[in-house]
Amino acid sequence: MASISAAIPALPRKYHAASIWALYVIGLCPAAWYFYQAATGGLGFNPVKEFEHLLGIWALRLIIATLAITPLRDLFGINWVRYRRALGLLAFYYVLMHFSVYLLLDLQLNFAAVGGDIARRPYITIGFAALLCLIPLAVTSNNWSIRKMGQGWIRLHKVVYLIAIGGAIHYVLAVKSVTSGPFAHIALIGILVAYRLFRRPLLNWKRGRRQPAQLAR
């Protein structure tokens, strides 16, 4: 296991901050590129729907990346925790853009239709609830909040598991049939959330294996 982390060259500490900013820039590139494509006719004959769907899919991908940070460290010794806040915030920005496109370009500020959708269509109800749940997480994604909230911060940010499951259900309910694309996203979310259930016993077991060696010393 440790060999995998050894195979990846460590980034010198002085580049850490710059690499996080680079991640924000790279992370927003798909949205910028698809917006350009949609505005110039590159997304086909239903550019609004296409753009809306792409933003939603990228939001799910970023949530998957956020959830993957912990198992990467536990199982492979790769410590990318410094990128987790950026990935989580990017996911929030994509969900916000996804909703804005639906509100502004798809339903064109027809608030009655938006309200009706949220009230009556389970996949939109779930998607909207996930967006609302993301707001407190995004607002508290800073060092000050972490210091101030202590254990409460950790409890609050566990809501991301519910958001991820909600996002997966939203996706399943929105498509006419679950093909390989949706399946891959949903399966990854399922595996990464389920991992949290087995994490404690797994870490205890790993620690237990290390112990005898230390005793023998």
Minimum distance of other proteins from residue 178's CB (angstroms): 7
Contact between residue 63 and residue 138 where contact means Cβ atoms under 8 Å apart: no
Backbone angles phi, psi at 79, to 5 degrees: -100, 95
Minimum distance of other proteins from residue 47's CB (angstroms): 5
Say how far residue 202 (Cα) sits from the centre of its chain.
Answer: 24
For residue 90, which amino acid is it?
A: L
User: Does residue 75 interact with other proteins by CB under 8 A?
Assistant: no
> How far is the C-alpha of 86 from the C-alpha of 133, rounded, in Å?
17
Q: Which positions from 174 through 193 interact with other proteins, judged by CB under 8 A?
A: 174, 176-180, 183
User: Does residue 118 interact with other proteins by CB under 8 A?
Assistant: no
- List the one residue from 16, 22, 46, 100 that touches other proteins (CB under 8 A): 46
Between 18 and 178, name the residue whose CB sits nearer to other proteins: 178
Q: Which residues contact 53 (CB under 8 A, 6 or more apart)?
A: none
> In 77-179, which residue ranges form alpha helices assigned H by DSSP?
84-101, 111-120, 122-139, 143-149, 151-157, 159-174
Of the candidate spans 72-80, 83-91, 155-163, 173-181, the one that interacts with other proteins by CB under 8 A turns out to be 173-181
Between 51 and 93, name the residue whose CB sits nearer to other proteins: 51
Angle at 198 between CA 128 and CA 60, to 5 degrees: 30
User: Does residue 172 interact with other proteins by CB under 8 A?
Assistant: no
Contacts to other proteins by CB under 8 A: 38-39, 41, 43-51, 105-106, 108, 113, 116-117, 120-123, 173-174, 176-180, 183
